[in-house]
Structure 1
């Protein structure tokens, strides 16, 4: 398989934030210079001359053009970018004295959101806008270096499609210095990836970068590099803050430095922020659940007892799955069984004295707790204190395998392969060696035993595709270890980590797990469980890691965010497509962490880590916070005035959305989740989206991501309602699949785009900043040489009303063609027909004109596609297996106990949906209904669409016996997102095509609305 990449709006914003910082920089195709040839090449051997000869006779190189913006202009650009995102404004260009670089920018992006992709795309954008082409990616470790190199490989074709060129890239190696010649002489995008050890280590190999080398024509490699004035991208800069490392960066003579991280320790000029809260709330990363495994002391007893989970079933009391010890003829063995209320462990164990008094008195599924008559209580995940390290690890492995199977049963039908990752501290626990060769280590033995046990419970006699898949994989083949390999013995070994190091620097430890990322994602590759050294914690990830299990002692020096980071990226299916449909993204993408501590302790530590990393977020929503912020609407940009800020503040107070300390309350967040937020005052409504974004930017504990306890997920079985003839008839009417086709007249699209551009296009005028200052009365020599001899007394921003005369030669038609995927002829026709006053805006601000025009054209294009779509039924149907294979799991506390639904419980996502279900389940007109599984979808040009409900009514009570419904909190088309509107229109066309007269599809916001339609 091949991973696919697509243009994502949130990543594009990060790229544009960087590029816009240099607005006004003239385009240059690169400054031509003569590469230092070193010693007289005529004295060299022919082979040496061939290797190091420059491709052009004059030894031409192409270095980055100098930054021509003044510091004042650059600061103004940076502040404009910051204001656009409502980030704290830089008072000045914060410089790094250690690196010596005066221009330092920070981009904050949460782990798993694609920061590597963002800075690679930024290279192409900077080349396209300004002509800069020499880039160096500096990383703190071999692992991250190999990950970046892999990303350069797999994104090459994607960027070729987007920008029309490929980057030339290489990993710096002191013994392969010919790459530096090509880096300097290539006029295209050239990227060097280097780890800090390669220039910041005392070893002979790593010091070569500073030495005059005989095999490099008596030149120093660092001199050849610095001649290019490269742009430096630092990946994970917080790990490269040592004084020696930072001062070494000055040797590269960087044009400017951009730092990319999720957790910056030192900030300079932050130009973009996508932190943990943003990523979670925008559903750009997986949500998290935790299975904590911890010991619990039992006073006066040596009993071993482990409570796995509480199981519930329809019309039956809950039971507890426990592991305990049982006496048999061959000795005492541990056994797993279900425990019901009243069961006596002393009797079940064969009379073992340690279990006297252990009679189950209560099994509470709401809190997953088992109580005994002797006062002992256990919560799921707890094991008695009389447990060895070996027993604890076995329990963790069992929990990880169970979580893996649960997720795999849900996602297999959607073409998503599930991977589980075990972190261990020494190779011997996984692989050992004796006279016979390689043998299983302790953890590998445990894994195979527990895997076979769980497999027997999962597999059924049903001849399903999933069962055939499981039968085709042997236990020994489904797990693998990725560790360093000793070059002499060819055996797996522990990595060579330096003192106080947290990662290995062994290159071969990463080959399979990094270079064969695509292979791991394929169902054809049997490996589903990965054992790796804990030193491999950072630097790699795989989108389909759904379970992480840390088989080691809790380490307080490692943050919980680091532990979960390897599994946060959104999953991909067998076609390489990201599973990021906003309607179902968190139903599919959930990471389970099996921790060697209690659920409460792990979650507390994780949320503390997240909160600490959000220290720059504002904490109070008072008038001063809102004043001066930037709001954007169709009418243009507006700065929040003190009067507007007072209105926002009063709105929050009036609705109890803030407390007496001006902190955002849980009332606000709950109302937002339920879709019941109070309306803003009329004057503020045009800016509603931006105002609520400002409110959401204020940190509160209620915003922290909800981290569930995976054990509370109860199996939700199908019931007899599924087999009712009414539901079976409904299913036969709607399960037909269809393919869509789209055809429309280009002239019609042109006319619609012309009218829309004339109506909506509003380009932001450029601004310039006037600053007035005076010289200090007593300026020191240091002030004079550092540019600090003057103090700014007054600053004013003035809109520029004239025409912009830029040295940059823009390809307007080409840029719009690329952004809209229309032909040059169509784009040219649109531009030629818009009104002169509309086109005149291009001269005021070309960049904003192109961005706005592309967005508006794409909106009309999407609208046209939907209007001209048609569906043709195909000879395929959705199988009833989708109701059983996915085996939906619900949180018992939040699920609705239903009577007429095909499952026992219904999960609701909002208060509106909950109210709808309660009336649906009690309405006498309803015979049976189902919340449709995620695998039931309708293909559309804007993504697959999954309707909410299928409902069968009593024939005597309604006109439309069968109904497919979509529930929305607002019926106003203006309040529905464009993508949702488009999908709903497509669904209407789909059901009009495939359904009979007795099936009706519509969008409703309440049960009353539903009944008005069907009667």
Structure 2
């Protein structure tokens, strides 16, 4: 399996905003060193804060992808080629390195930046060790500093963590070598290259502190900071003391905050759960009065308990089971690894093994519930790609998992016992499975059990910071799989066809930052955090949207995903705190007394998301006028005390929210995005009005017929013709050599003095190539072309054009062939297909094909992430209020509009209600349906698409696909149209009611 990177809309928006904020190049500089070959070209306002740029992106939304692509774009547009990426920790450094050097990232970027390579130079502890008595520079530092502009296709990147940057090795100047012909200090040598610095996790590099000072010593021309959290600065004292977030230019140039990330479905939803405890047990709390290097002082009910180094907490209270002692020292930790701090509360029951078993058991229940859904994909199309399900456990110590002398720790023993019981039960459940996918899952479970019972199980693994120095081969294999082999961890089978059963990971907070795997569906905390870290950071390892076994990242529309987060009882307010933290990430605070300009700008911003051409100034004026006409505000823009709106009396502020609910969408997280399962509300389901849906039943029996995309008979010949044209490569741009290059410098002297000459040379003996079998295998997998055809075309091309040179068989050529064929083929087949109804019906989110009945209720998320009050309407397809919707304009406007009596049924179609196959795989569903009684008594249906958000195809392609699908239902009185506004929908329905247009009209 190979991960397929895709450019998502919010990432495109980020790159566009960053580009617009770029200060530009200084083309008219008088600096005599402007053309210094070892340094970046000169940027305007260099070394000044007004050049620097902040990019705020929430955890899990792809900031590493964005700043990697940013480097490519800055190189392509402006010739900038030396970048320093500064990260706070070695674990984050490892994650960044893994992404930039991954095959899937290289393949993705090669599509847009041909022949451009990133040379990643990573500085690690130990790289500066003296050898043979000489103190030399690491090769990767020399590569970065001494590379020149002459290699126009290479981007030099230096990746370094804060501790390494701050080290003596980077600042000393007594090396036995020089850089750039004279520099003896690594920091000064890097500064001479005029680097562009990218800071990841900027809250760990606050201005005025040592790590930021290290950044400043690099003398960056400009700094990009990427993060979900930024440092704060405090000014003044006493009553005049104020705290604000420290942004360059006073604000981020792109701001994708937590509220937008959750509400727009850019990350998973979260379900929080914790074990029940008796109030008596929960009240047995001990508070940390002091945690000293040699003594721990706990208090309860005013009584002090002093615990010395090595003394057992069970002597204070038997509830502290598990032989927990105080370790003290500078870390002030317990033997289970919990770092203690003043005023922290400890609950004895939460430290007992039985309590941890409770969390383990619940975590496994959630894991296998998610795994069965993700593997079987029961609500998706037949044979939809499977999704590997991973679970992550944060535990108290290494010994509890690995034990001593190659033995299993108590936690591993308990985990295996519980896991085996779950596996045996599930294997029994699927023993008599008839469905192919269920039989596959049965095999997967059996392979898991067999591995678990073997001498070297491969089902669960651990990674801890101490592992970096381990000499144990098995441990290193686990570490590599978790940290580096992301694609292996996401795959179901290896190249030999054997099941890859590893999917349970254990760590001790090491994976909290810098590690990401999109398929984490369960996180279980078997230890308390120990400090007041960000709640979003704690769940961050599981927020990313999942990828399927083909490497495609699934949107929430394609496959709604949630993270199950299990915690201890002592953190039972976690969900409330998480929601509070998300809501504090709002760009502005809502004023309940006065309509501020910032509030109006939020509405304008929301409206521009659905209509980018809106003029901000005129739209703002319309908002003020509308609120004035409804008497919501006075002339000074103050909210009135009482307002009559839609037959109700309310405050002016409440009326404002009724008229413009998009304000709350950007300032509050939607209720269903974070759920406390102990306080679950029934509102997550929406009940259908069966009497209304049954009026659509005759139509729905036609819509439930499974449809097949049938291509023209000439499609195979077309594919072969396209392939032949691609392989002929008339422009000689597809079949290329993949060879690293070297800059050769020659010093010569003449009467005028010494001169330096440079030439670009190839490493003639170092071509990068692929095995021919692997080359053909990847080519057929990515194009669906048969191997015999590909082999024949390759043989002819190699013979006739490439002199049978095997060096042309490489990854660059492979990527060029795949990209060019798929692009050309898709352009040719967009209209060369039709829909053919099959003889059997298919169930959807709204209809049970076996029972031939509509379902009773459905998840609210399928109708929309937002909810709003509305007047009850007997024509509506669901019980209301509240209304569910995804966009205020036009969706909510359409739903709130009053329609004539000729409309007998109307409503929003849930996701996957009509699964219209797309020619490029996947499905699409229109947004609204109306049942209309025309003036002559004839009944017709209007099916309307209002937008194409979160779809990989554009609006026009969606319109063509859906139009082609509904063309076959014209005789049944079905109108299909695409509309962009509430008024357009209303006018369309009016014309249908009055028979001013017919089903033969094709307008959109």
Counterpart contact for 1:938–1:944, Cα < 8 Å:
yes
- In the other structure, the counterpart of 1:404 is 367
Shift of 1:729: 9.7
- In the other structure, the counterpart of 1:10 is 10
Shift of 1:134: 0.7
Counterpart contact for 1:421–1:549, Cα < 8 Å:
yes
SS in 2 for 1:535: coil
- In the other structure, the counterpart of 1:65 is 41
Alignment CA distance shift 1:454-1:604 (3 Å): farther
Q: Does 1:535 align with 2:502?
A: no
For residues 952 and 641 of structure 1, what CA distance do their matches in structure 2 show?
33
Q: Does 1:483 align with 2:463?
A: yes
- In the other structure, the counterpart of 1:872 is 834
Alignment CA distance shift 1:284-1:704 (3 Å): same
Q: Higher mean Cα deviation, 206-215 or 151-160?
A: 206-215
- In the other structure, the counterpart of 2:70 is 122
For residues 1002 and 866 of structure 1, what CA distance do their matches in structure 2 show?
25
Alignment CA distance shift 1:883-1:298 (3 Å): same
Q: Does 1:234 align with 2:199?
A: yes
For residues 574 and 913 of structure 1, what CA distance do their matches in structure 2 show?
45
SS in 1 for 2:510: helix
Q: Does 1:591 align with 2:563?
A: yes
What is the 5 A alignment of 1:947-986? 947=926, 966=943, 979=954, 982-986=957-961
- In the other structure, the counterpart of 1:901 is 854
- In the other structure, the counterpart of 1:515 is 484
Q: Does 1:572 align with 2:542?
A: no
Shift of 1:138: 0.4
- In the other structure, the counterpart of 2:533 is 558
- Cα shift readout 1:555-596 (whole Å, capped 9, x = no counterpart): 342221111111111222222222126xx25x6132221222
Counterpart contact for 2:518–2:547, Cα < 8 Å:
yes
Alignment CA distance shift 1:250-1:717 (3 Å): closer
Shift of 1:737: 1.6
For residues 296 and 670 of structure 1, what CA distance do their matches in structure 2 show?
43
- In the other structure, the counterpart of 2:674 is 707
What is the 5 A alignment of 1:385-400? 389-400=352-363
- Cα shift readout 1:378-434 (whole Å, capped 9, x = no counterpart): xxxxxx998873232222222222223333333342424222222212123333345
Counterpart contact for 1:628–1:641, Cα < 8 Å:
no
- In the other structure, the counterpart of 2:497 is none
- In the other structure, the counterpart of 1:253 is 219
What is the 5 A alignment of 1:200-599? 200-201=166-167, 206-207=169-170, 210-213=173-176, 219-241=184-206, 243-265=209-231, 266-269=246-249, 270-297=252-279, 389-411=352-374, 412-413=376-377, 414-417=384-387, 418-434=389-405, 441-449=412-420, 451-452=422-423, 455=426, 459=430, 461-473=432-444, 474=446, 475-476=448-449, 477=451, 479-484=459-464, 485=467, 490=472, 511-524=480-493, 525-580=500-555, 584=557, 588-597=560-569
For residues 392 and 566 of structure 2, what CA distance do their matches in structure 1 show?
10
Counterpart contact for 1:431–1:438, Cα < 8 Å:
yes
Shift of 1:442: 4.3
Counterpart contact for 1:901–1:921, Cα < 8 Å:
no
Shift of 1:274: 1.1
Alignment CA distance shift 1:282-1:665 (3 Å): farther
For residues 543 and 938 of structure 2, what CA distance do their matches in structure 1 show?
48
- In the other structure, the counterpart of 2:89 is 141
Counterpart contact for 2:121–2:156, Cα < 8 Å:
no
- In the other structure, the counterpart of 2:706 is 735
- 2:925 pairs, out of 946, 959, 971, with 946
- In the other structure, the counterpart of 2:748 is none
SS in 1 for 2:551: coil
Counterpart contact for 1:428–1:441, Cα < 8 Å:
no
Alignment CA distance shift 1:513-1:654 (3 Å): same
- Cα shift readout 1:860-905 (whole Å, capped 9, x = no counterpart): x99x989973533579888858779999xxxxxxxxxx99524555
For residues 527 and 202 of structure 2, what CA distance do their matches in structure 1 show?
28
Alignment CA distance shift 1:668-1:646 (3 Å): closer
For residues 283 and 576 of structure 2, what CA distance do their matches in structure 1 show?
30
- In the other structure, the counterpart of 1:337 is none
For residues 229 and 273 of structure 1, what CA distance do their matches in structure 2 show?
28
What is the 5 A alignment of 1:600-619? 601-614=573-586
For residues 349 and 122 of structure 2, what CA distance do their matches in structure 1 show?
53
For residues 120 and 392 of structure 1, what CA distance do their matches in structure 2 show?
44
- Cα shift readout 1:954-973 (whole Å, capped 9, x = no counterpart): xxx99889x8x856789xx9
- Cα shift readout 1:669-693 (whole Å, capped 9, x = no counterpart): 67667xxxxxxxxxxxxxxxxxx6x
- In the other structure, the counterpart of 1:83 is none
SS in 2 for 1:192: strand
- In the other structure, the counterpart of 2:820 is none
- Cα shift readout 1:907-938 (whole Å, capped 9, x = no counterpart): 44467999688558999999xx9967479342
What is the 5 A alignment of 1:587-986? 588-597=560-569, 601-614=573-586, 622-625=595-598, 639=617, 646-647=624-625, 650=628, 654=632, 695=663, 700-701=667-668, 706-710=673-677, 730=701, 734-739=705-710, 869-873=831-835, 880=842, 901-903=854-856, 907=860, 908-909=863-864, 933=912, 936-939=915-918, 944-947=923-926, 966=943, 979=954, 982-986=957-961
- Cα shift readout 1:487-512 (whole Å, capped 9, x = no counterpart): 5662888xxxxxxxxxxxxx988532
- In the other structure, the counterpart of 1:781 is none
- 1:179 pairs, out of 114, 118, 140, with 140
* Gap runs ≥5 in structure 2: 129-136, 232-245, 285-346, 378-383, 452-457, 494-499, 643-650, 715-822, 881-901, 980-984, 1000-1004
Counterpart contact for 1:106–1:268, Cα < 8 Å:
yes
For residues 642 and 946 of structure 1, what CA distance do their matches in structure 2 show?
33
Q: Higher mean Cα deviation, 905-914 or 186-195?
A: 905-914
- Cα shift readout 1:343-369 (whole Å, capped 9, x = no counterpart): xxxxxxxxxxxxxxxxxxxxxxxxxxx
SS in 2 for 1:536: coil
SS in 2 for 1:562: helix
Alignment CA distance shift 1:628-1:468 (3 Å): closer
SS in 1 for 2:277: strand
- In the other structure, the counterpart of 1:345 is none
Q: Higher mean Cα deviation, 230-239 or 532-541?
A: 532-541
Q: Does 1:106 align with 2:54?
A: yes
For residues 255 and 624 of structure 2, what CA distance do their matches in structure 1 show?
27
For residues 554 and 90 of structure 2, what CA distance do their matches in structure 1 show?
30
* Gap runs ≥5 in structure 1: 36-59, 75-92, 95-101, 303-383, 494-506, 674-691, 744-860, 888-897
Alignment CA distance shift 1:223-1:138 (3 Å): same
- Cα shift readout 1:618-639 (whole Å, capped 9, x = no counterpart): 6576244468999888888665
